[in-house]
């Protein structure tokens, strides 16, 4: 039977995935709704969601209408048996400062939600949001991540520090549950931003994301999920529109091109550094990363070292393989060509 590329399960664990030994193909795709960024996705996987804009102040308050949210999932199959998902960052006001308004109401332009520690936020807020049909949810482990807390604290704008005592708490939680009768294991991460005593009870979740797989298979899928997570590249065109849109909605003059370019560089650099910190705890069985030279651009690229061979083409598609004799350009079942081997820096 002719080999198929749509099943990453076979590509990753079976030598019959390609007719020429074990290899896995990732294609660079745009975020579906606004093309805010591009990222690598295993061929045949499904991308759902993306940019999310709240247009009605009655939903979550005006403060959540200023910036673009993201609720995006990359999953192996329609059921999402293996997936990575990013949850939206929301601005909340602590219920104790909402003059009796219940959780879920809108007060002072923000969504009313009692302040929680990161583990409670994940267990009580994020999990029900991401998995409304989950049952028998059991936490199997959790840990605080002081390196992420310190990183976020160091990035607070000095002008904001002048009138708030902003603090950060983060955690990684591993838990099991059942969904539609199937057992899953999942890890979820978040950073909680607290605007402090001078912040009027405001707080926000940042970098909330999850990875999951069936039963005890999560360690097998970590290398694939790690590639997806680390591959994001933001679009400068989108950043320009978003930042100027935020400024307009906030009554501030438009950003200059230099400001936008500096912001673009800062966003991508911060994303790399932040995800590097997350990866140390999010993925338990990963090997170290390598530094590669892109044969088309000559630029340095940091990528996974979980496979022996890395091939890339001019469109940004990447193939990883552990077979030293495999050449994707001579694979009769692969409909994409023009690959060059990307060699790790010595």
pLDDT in tens, 284-319: 887 678 889 899 988 888 888 889 999 999 999 999
H or E element: which one contains 174? strand 167-179
Tally of domains within the chain: 2
By residue range, what is the domain housing residue 328? 290-341
Same domain, 185 and 325: no
Q: What was the pLDDT predicted at 42?
A: 97
Q: Where are the alpha helices (DSSP H) in 218-329?
A: 218-230, 236-250, 257-282
Confidence at 8, pLDDT banded by 50, 70, 90: very low
Same domain, 265 and 294: no
Alpha carbon of 77 to those of 44, 73, 186, 226: distances in Å? 8, 11, 16, 18
Place of tokens 């605080």: 144
Same domain, 108 and 166: yes
Maximum pairwise Cα distance, the chain: 68
Mean pLDDT of the chain, nearest integer: 86
Q: Is residue 234 part of a domain?
A: yes
Q: Is residue 119 part of a domain?
A: yes
Higher pLDDT, 300 or 6: 300
Q: In the chain, pLDDT over 70 holds for what percent of residues?
A: 86
Q: Is residue 176 part of a domain?
A: yes
| Domain final residue pick, 282, 301, 329 | 282
CA distance 203 to 89: 10
Place of tokens 């077979």: 323
> Residue 51 in contact with residue 34, Cβ under 8 Å?
yes
Same domain, 190 and 142: yes
CA distance 98 to 92: 10
Q: What was the pLDDT predicted at 276?
A: 77
pLDDT at 149 exceeding the cut of 70: yes
Same domain, 243 and 189: yes
Same domain, 240 and 272: yes
Q: Is residue 52 part of a domain?
A: yes
Same domain, 34 and 98: yes
Q: What was the pLDDT predicted at 12?
A: 31
| Domain final residue pick, 263, 282, 301 | 282
pLDDT at 28 exceeding the cut of 70: yes
Same domain, 187 and 300: no
């Amino acid at each position: 039977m002719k080999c198929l590329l749509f099943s990453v399960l076979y590509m990753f664990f079976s030598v019959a995935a390609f007719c020429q030994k074990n290899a896995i193909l990732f294609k660079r795709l745009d975020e579906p709704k606004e093309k805010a960024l591009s990222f690598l996705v295993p061929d045949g996987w499904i991308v759902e969601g993306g940019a999310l804009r709240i247009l009605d102040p009655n939903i979550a308050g005006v403060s959540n209408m200023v910036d673009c949210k993201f609720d995006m999932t990359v999953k192996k199959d329609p059921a999402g048996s293996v997936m990575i998902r990013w949850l939206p960052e929301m601005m909340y006001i602590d219920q104790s400062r909402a003059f009796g308004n219940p959780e879920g109401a809108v007060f002072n332009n923000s969504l009313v939600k009692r302040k929680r520690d990161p583990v409670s936020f994940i267990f009580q807020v994020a999990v029900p949001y991401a998995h409304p049909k989950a049952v028998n949810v059991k936490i199997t482990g959790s840990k605080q991540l002081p390196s992420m807390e310190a990183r976020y604290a160091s990035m607070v704008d000095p002008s904001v520090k002048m009138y708030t005592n902003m603090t950060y708490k983060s955690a990684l939680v591993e838990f099991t549950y059942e969904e539609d009768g199937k057992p899953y294991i999942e890890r979820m991460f978040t950073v909680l931003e607290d605007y402090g005593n001078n912040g009027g009870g405001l707080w926000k979740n940042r970098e909330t994301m999850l990875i999951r797989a069936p039963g005890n298979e999560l360690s097998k899928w970590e290398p694939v999920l790690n590639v997806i997570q680390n591959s994001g590249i933001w679009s400068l065109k989108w950043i320009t529109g978003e930042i100027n849109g935020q400024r307009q909605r906030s009554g501030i003059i438009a950003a200059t091109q230099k400001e936008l370019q500096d912001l673009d560089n800062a966003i991508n650099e911060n994303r790399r550094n932040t995800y590097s910190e997350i990866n140390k705890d999010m993925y338990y069985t990963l090997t170290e990363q390598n530094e590669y030279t892109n044969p088309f651009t000559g630029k340095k690229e940091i990528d996974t070292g979980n496979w022996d061979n890395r091939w890339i083409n001019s469109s940004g598609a990447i193939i990883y393989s552990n077979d030293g004799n495999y050449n994707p350009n001579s694979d009769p079942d692969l409909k994409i060509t023009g690959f060059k081997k990307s060699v790790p820096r010595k």
